[in-house]
Structure formats: C-alpha cells, structure tokens
Copies of this chain bind each other. A is one copy, B any other.
Amino acid sequence: MQDYDPGAFPPFAVTVDLAVCTVREQRLHVLLVRRGEDPYQGAWALPGGFVRPRESAECAARRELAEETGLSQRTVEHLHLEQLRTYSDPDRDPRMRVVSVAYTALLPDLPEPRGGGDAAHAQWMPLASASPLAFDHDRILADAYERIGAKLEYTCLATSFCPPEFTLGELQQVYETVWGVELDRPNFRRKVLTTPGFVEAVEGAPRRTGGRGKPAAIYRAGAASALHPPLLRPEGRQS
C-alpha cells in the first residue's frame, strides 16, 4: 500500500462465482449455467459475473444468482452465502486478468430453475457429472465440495440442505449423501437431539416420509450454528 498511483495499475476485473449445492435423489447437485459466448461457449460453468463499481462481492453474488438462475428474490435474499476463497491465477481467464471471489451456498431441493433471461440456461447437475466446467470452475467446485464436507462436521450447516421443516431421516440423508457413507440411525439421532440448538421439535402431526413406514416427527433448524462436540465422519480425513 506504500506506493500508490492509480494510473500505474492495469485494470483487474473482479468477478464472483457461485457453487450452489443441493441434495436431490441421494446425490449432491450443483447449479450450473450454460455459457452462451466465447470463451468456453457451450460449456457448463458456475453462475457468476462481474462485480459492479458500487457493490460488495457478496451483493454481486446475490444479484448474479437471481439474474442467472431465476431463483426467487426471497430465496436469494435469505440464502446463507459463505465465502469460499479467491482465485487469482493470472491465466485463469484467457481474455484478461480476472480475479474471482467464490461463494458457496446450500439449498433444500427446489423445483427446477425456470424463468426468463439468462435463467433459461440454468439447471441442477449431479456433482459427479459436472466436469469439465469452463475456466477453473472444476477446481472451485472441488474446493467447495471439500469445504462443505468439512463444515458438516462441526457446524449445523446440514439443515441448510433441508426444507424449513424436516425429519431426522432427511437430515441424516444429507450427511450420508455429502460424505458418501452410511451412518447408524440410532446414534445419529441421539447425537443430533442431544446437541443443544441443533434442531428443535415442531409440535403437531407427524409426517409421512415416503409412502411406507412409520410417520416421522418433524423438526426445525435450531438456534445454534456450531456443533460441540463435532459430528466427525467415520473415516476421518480433512483438508
């Protein structure tokens, strides 16, 4: 910051990229858009775009998400966005120097995005079928996946993947899907219920989950954001 001269620095473009994930049909999905222009025309990419002169990166992320994917204004406004990291390799965009701030968001399984404009090209894609993506988006997505898996261990983030009211079975499926392991139901249940503030019971009629089986009690996300002690995955690996 010592040597300051506005004219001396070539223009950097600053963009945001979003790894928006959900759990559908027992698999982790990510929201992608198809690129309409070069470079990478026709390729799938993470939604994102340029940060405007008077907005923060997080504001830009919400705006782009609404514009490009047709998610409702309400959804986008209340969404929990987490900054993942910033990608600044000089050659990550062939056109010019672009520094991109990546964000991660977790959503419950929503209806297929529809809507006008850019949104026409947005859709959910299973993570396994997502690559190759445009630019360095494979890398960003891989980082997002790793971060999400790690965060499930020591935060209440898993409830972000669930609708406002959910069953413990649904919550457990989030863990199993993201981690790719099976968990013991009784133990999972105990763990979740004894962690203060993780979930809170919703009074009223229990709900049928699938067609079969006993109706399950329903819960809401609790007030806590961190899990103490953490819920570690069976075979512990970590960043």
B51 touches A12 (CB 8 A): yes
- Stretch of A71-79, A96-104, A179-187, A212-220 on the interface side: A96-104
Complex Cα gap A118–B13 (Å): 29
Partner of A3 from B49, B90, B228 at Cβ < 8 Å: B49
What residue in chain B is nearest A84 (Cβ atoms)? B85
What residue in chain B is nearest A14 (Cβ atoms)? B12
Partner of A101 from B3, B10, B88 at Cβ < 8 Å: B88
Q: How many chain copies?
A: 2
Q: Known interface pairs A12-B14, A51-B88, A88-B14. Does A4 touch B95 (Cβ–Cβ under 8 Å)?
A: yes
- Stretch of A52-60, A124-132, A160-168, A200-208 on the interface side: A52-60
B35 touches A1 (CB 8 A): yes
Complex Cα gap A230–B230 (Å): 9
A53 touches B10 (CB 8 A): yes
- Stretch of A24-32, A108-116, A170-178, A231-239 on the interface side: A231-239
Complex Cα gap A30–B220 (Å): 42
Complex Cα gap A45–B1 (Å): 9
Q: Known interface pairs A4-B95, A12-B51, A13-B12. Does A88 touch B238 (Cβ–Cβ under 8 Å)?
A: no
B49 touches A2 (CB 8 A): yes
> A residues bordering B, Cβ < 8 Å?
1-4, 6, 9-15, 33, 35-37, 45, 48-51, 53-58, 68, 83, 85-86, 88-90, 95-97, 99, 101, 118, 134, 154-155, 225-226, 228-230, 232, 236-239
A-B contact pairs, 12 of them (CB 8 A): A1-B15, A1-B49, A2-B35, A2-B68, A14-B14, A53-B90, A56-B90, A57-B86, A88-B101, A99-B99, A155-B238, A226-B238
